[in-house]
Chain A
Amino acid sequence: MIALLHVQEGAAAGFLTGLQHPVSGADHVLAMIAVGLWGAQLGQPAIWLLPVTFPMVMAFGGFLGLIGIPLPGVEVGIALSAIALGTMVAGEARPSLAVAAALVALFAVFHGHAHGTELPEGQSGVLYSVGFVVATGCLHAVGIAIGLVHRWPLGARAIRAAGVAIAAAGAWFLWRAVG
């Protein structure tokens, strides 16, 4: 008997495309790593709360983008996210948990919206979404893992330097966005 294996066409492509999308732009990557770094600086419970907040709110932004609700100044918002989050990391800012979560959530909407409007046609929606969210979470995990060096004085300084670099990159993204 011939085994007719009806493989879901495009499924693997959908997952891989979703996995690739969040890492395809330096502006997104830097902002998401900055979230992880900042969480690591802030310690418990922010180290977990911020990476939980970002994907959920980013998915909400993606939802808005998918259904066609426009959001003005998306590219500017993404660039500002790198500047603001990089500055927070550079200054090792310690606002209240609510303020930190709100700041991260605000910028997550811009990132999500940009992704939502760029989603390719003809892919498996569920596998694309799984890949997309997993990649985003992994980027936060990378930031948190790097941020673990914060416990050593030299590591703490290195993280702050990384924050400066992220903010500088954000300024360049902003220049590009408005230029």
Chain B
Amino acid sequence: MTRLRRTALAMLGVALLPSRAEAHLATTGLGPVYDGINHLLLSPDDLVPVIAMALLAGLNGAAAGRRVLFVLPVAWWLGGMAGFAHGAEVLPGPVTTVSFLVLGALTALDRRLPERAVIALAALVGLLHGWLNGAGIAAAGREALALVGIGTAIFVVVALGAALVVSLRRSWQRIAVRVAGSWVAAIGLLLLGWALRPGS
């Protein structure tokens, strides 16, 4: 095995080391549903991939947007319930940087994807982030009902984001969406660096 491959494997291993699933579930005092809504809106780790997914779905047309509108929150909720039931500590936190990188890069490239691919992406992102949320909620001893709030907030964000992008007609507006995608990918790269940083 070459030195480069050994280094790459070691880096991957560090990235995938189990870490605590952080739910960042703030207590609003209004109940677990509102805590979940609050969580999504205050957690860029989850909010940015949701926005990126909405942008990508919108770039792929109204039909893809409609599918993602339902697939993403449902997958998130299913993943969340699985993570909540399992308990935690299986999936590493840094794995969510993959969402930033993939969704950001695909949005920046603005290549028309098959509708099934967009739906599969939404399902994977939902299951991954949902699992981490559910596991974090369970580890914090909070109620799983927060997942309903998270799913509701995702539905609203995707509805607004995808509809906005679908409605864009001018070329510069579409390019602005691509620029936003490149920013998401750049954030993902930096996050990966943070996760792999020596001593982190």
Contacts and interface: CB of A to CB of B under 8 A. Distances in A.
B189 A56 contact: yes
Interface residues of B, number: 33
Contact of A129 (B182, B194, B196): B194
A3 B189 contact: no
A63 B44 contact: no
A4 interface: yes
Contacts of A66: 190, 193-194, 196-197
A84 B179 CA distance: 24
Contact of B108 (A52, A67, A128, A134): A52
Interface string B156-200: 000000000000000010010011001101111111111111100
Interface in B15-39: 24-30
A126 interface: yes
Interface centre among B29, B175, B186, B196 (most CB of A within 10 A): B186
B195 to A, nearest CB: 8
Given A7-B26, A67-B197, A133-B183, A59 B178 contact: no
B193 A62 contact: yes
B179 A51 contact: yes
Interface string A57-91: 01110111111100000000000000000000000
Interface string B58-93: 000000000000000000000000000000000000
Contacts of B189: 56, 59-60, 62-63
Given A5-B26, A67-B196, A48 B187 contact: no
B120 interface: no
B190 A6 contact: no
B178 A48 contact: yes
B24 A133 contact: no
Contact of A5 (B11, B27, B183, B193): B27
A3 B28 contact: yes
A134 B183 CA distance: 7
B193 A130 contact: no
Contacts of A8: 24, 42
Tell which of A6, A56, A136 has the most Cβ of chain B within 10 Å: A56
B143 interface: no
Interface string B2-22: 000000000100000000000
A64 B193 CA distance: 7
B48 interface: yes
Interface string A1-31: 1111111100000000000000000000000
B26 A126 contact: no
Contacts of A119: 194
B197 A56 contact: no
A126 B191 contact: yes
Contacts of B11: 67
Given A55-B183, A65-B193, A133-B183, 11 more contacts: A4-B27, A5-B28, A45-B175, A48-B172, A56-B182, A63-B190, A63-B192, A63-B193, A67-B198, A129-B186, A136-B186
14 contacts: A3-B29, A52-B178, A52-B182, A55-B186, A59-B187, A63-B189, A63-B190, A66-B194, A67-B196, A125-B190, A126-B44, A127-B44, A129-B191, A130-B44
Interface of A: 1-8, 45, 48, 51-52, 55-56, 58-60, 62-68, 116, 119, 125-130, 132-134, 136-137
10 smallest beta-carbon distances between A and B, as pairs: A3-B29, A66-B193, A59-B186, A125-B194, A63-B193, A59-B189, A129-B190, A4-B27, A52-B182, A55-B186
